[in-house]
Amino acid sequence: MDFKDYYSALGVARDASDEDIRKAYRKLARKYHPDVSKEADADAKMRDINEARDVLQDKEKRAAYDQLADHVARGGSPDGGFRQPPPGWDEGFEFHRGPGQGPADHADFSEFFSSIFGNRGGMGSAGMGGQRGPYRERGEDHHAAIEISLEDALRGAERQLTLRAQEIDAQGRPHLVNRTLDVKIPAGVRPGQYIRLAGQGLPGHGGEPAGDLYLEVRIAPHKLYRIEGHDLYMTLPVTPTEAALGAHVTVPTPGGGRVDVSVPKGARSGMKLRLKERGLPGKTPGHLYLLLEIALPPADNEAARAAYEALAKATPSFNPRRNLGA
């Protein structure tokens, strides 16, 4: 695990003020926002700057991080390798969730972040170090994402999910444990939907229940189908003969079956054929759209060349560039 330089991630100096950090973050967040950025690694950059901001804008976390950075600078291994914070590095620090900080986002943070601050959204007052009295608090809700295949989304599946979570040991020191959950993915789940796992969030305190875990469903890119809302799109290649004269062709459906489709006479490239309610299932099922693409047979033998020439002779008035005025 590499030691992460959060100051470099935001491009600020070690003595940067809160305002400097805020400005640097906002500038970079606009640059790498996934809706506007053209950078190839925008997602990764956004994660890095979110993580750096999370630490540097929190007074207690920043002080703890600075102390750890000093420790690593004094005795860290030459290659910058970093294993675990040294014992006692966080003494006297108490991490609080600041106003306006939600519990989300931290699921994507790095192993380095987890090793220091645990996999916790905001550190509750029972987080690390310091003296505290008994109190009761329901555990915070936690967020993560799960990527599944389109087939799993359609048919339902069971998946194992490993989460890193922080626990307090008998000596009162935090340590990270891996939790493996067997998660049932209901059939018909759609991208952007959330699955709620009751009681799988952060543990409660003083006998209060644990929070919930929310999993955002993401669907991995598919080699045949593209998802748009509830609908699926597939490119359907047809020959010039099939497009011109009409044809019946067999196409695969996302559910695993096959269906006969009628290509109308005079079909053009880009024409859309709709297979009603063959998209994502649900209360309002989506449709499967087939985008026609005319594939030209290669003129790589005498018979094929003769056929193309015969076609040209048979359609002397056909001018595909008529609209260009040519």
Partner 1 sequence: MRATTTTTVLESSPLTVGELARAVGAEDQWVLRLVEVEILHVDAPGEPPERWHFRSSDLQRALAARRLERDFGANLDTAALILDLQSELRRLRALMGAHGLA
Concatenating the DSSP letter of every residue in 225-287 gives: EEEETTEEEEEEEE-HHHHHH-EEEEEE-TTS-EEEEEEPTT--TT-EEEETT-SS-SSS---
Q: Which stretch binds partner 1 (CB under 8 A): 25-33, 86-94, 126-134, 299-307?
A: 25-33
Instruction: Determine which residue in the list 10, 64, 289, 290 makes contact with partner 1, applying CB under 8 A.
Output: 289
Task: Dig out the tokens for 312 from the structure.
Answer: 């040209």
Q: Is 122 an interacting residue with respect to partner 1 (CB under 8 A)?
A: yes
Q: Is 175 an interacting residue with respect to partner 1 (CB under 8 A)?
A: no
Q: Is 181 an interacting residue with respect to partner 1 (CB under 8 A)?
A: yes
Contact 46, 40 (CB under 8 A): no
Nearest to 241, CA basis, from 308, 320, 306, 289:
308
Binding mask 137-156 for partner 1 (x = CB under 8 A): -x-xx-x-------------
Nearest CB to partner 1, comparing residues 21 and 68: 21
Instruction: Determine which residue in the list 16, 42, 72, 104 makes contact with partner 1, applying CB under 8 A.
Output: 104
Q: Is 214 an interacting residue with respect to partner 1 (CB under 8 A)?
A: yes
Nearest to 144, CA basis, from 213, 211, 210:
213
Strands (DSSP E) found in the chain: 142-148, 157-168, 174-185, 194-197, 213-219, 225-228, 231-238, 247-252, 258-263, 272-275, 288-294
The C-alpha atoms of residue 168 and residue 194 are separated, in whole angstroms, by: 29
SS3 65: helix
Q: Is 271 an interacting residue with respect to partner 1 (CB under 8 A)?
A: no
Nearest CB to partner 1, comparing residues 209 and 264: 209
Task: Dig out the tokens for 130 from the structure.
Answer: 């310091």
Nearest CB to partner 1, comparing residues 257 and 270: 270
Site for partner 1 in 233-262 (CB under 8 A): 233, 235
Binding mask 40-59 for partner 1 (x = CB under 8 A): -------------x------
Q: Is 118 an interacting residue with respect to partner 1 (CB under 8 A)?
A: no
- Residues in contact with partner 1 by CB under 8 A are 22, 25-26, 29, 35, 53, 97, 100-105, 121-122, 138, 140-141, 143, 177-186, 189, 192-200, 211-212, 214, 216, 226, 228-229, 231, 233, 235, 270, 272, 282-283, 289, 291
